[in-house]
Amino acid sequence: MELLRNKVITEGIVLPGNVLKVDSFLNHQMDPVLMQAIGREFKHRFAEAGVNRILTIESSGIAPGIMTALEMQVPLIFARKQKSLTLTDDIFVETAYSYTKQQSNDITVSKKFIQPGDKVLVIDDFLANGEAAFALARIVGQAGAEVAGIGIVIEKSFQPGADLLTGEGYRLESLVRIAGLEDGGVQFAD
């Protein structure tokens, strides 16, 4: 995706710990034209997948998730992050280690929003170790639904997440793939 790639080149900032800061267009200030293009691109890539639900995680997954949901005309559900839980009867729970916050979160989705037989597209802003996307996919599995695919805005291909998800058999589509963040710059995988 040329538009996204250009934004990463002109506005992305490489931070220590292999973190790419994109807060001027993706997860703090948001560029609506770019977000609309992201939604259209995911719709195009998953057009034949029979998607009837989109699942993401708060907060940075919500913007690309809702734009994709709008394009595909299906509901968006976002998983909530909570520290620890006592009552878990009416929610699906999985644990994911947060790459940026460096802590484990229980992530939860109300059971009423994903049903057996649903075809769920998982969307997130970044893919690093795959913790967040894999936890979302496991929630889909808990519901007896099917993961129609996983759509990622920015994949850091030099980290283990992409191999983890494809190794688990999921279809992964990433709009931009980054091969490295060396010397303060962004090296693209393609």
In the complex, the residues that contact ligand 5GP under the rule CB under 6 A are 19-22, 27, 60, 99-100, 124-133, 161
Minimum CB distance to ligand 5GP smaller for 27 or for 52: 27
83 by DSSP, 3-state: which?
Answer: coil
- 89 class by beta-carbon count within 10 Å (0-12 exposed, 13-18 middle, 19+ buried): exposed
Minimum CB distance to ligand 5GP smaller for 133 or for 139: 133
Minimum CB distance to ligand 5GP smaller for 52 or for 136: 136
Minimum CB distance to ligand 5GP smaller for 21 or for 44: 21
Residue identified by tokens 């808990």 is 142
Minimum CB distance to ligand 5GP smaller for 20 or for 49: 20
The tokens of 49 are what? 């997948």
Beta bridge partners of 149: 121
Minimum CB distance to ligand 5GP smaller for 52 or for 63: 63
Give least dist CB 75 to ligand 5GP, A: 20
126: left (phi over 0), alpha (psi -120 to 50) or beta: beta
Give least dist CB 167 to ligand 5GP, A: 14
**Sequence-distant (≥ 6) Cβ neighbours of residue 121 within 8 angstroms:** 42, 46, 49, 51, 53, 54, 55, 68, 72, 147, 148, 149, 150, 151
Measured CA to CA, the distance from residue 26 to residue 142 in angstroms comes to: 30
Beta bridge partners of 130: none
Measured CA to CA, the distance from residue 83 to residue 168 in angstroms comes to: 27
Which residue type sits at 65? Answer: G
Give least dist CB 9 to ligand 5GP, A: 15
Give least dist CB 48 to ligand 5GP, A: 26
Give least dist CB 28 to ligand 5GP, A: 9
Give least dist CB 50 to ligand 5GP, A: 25
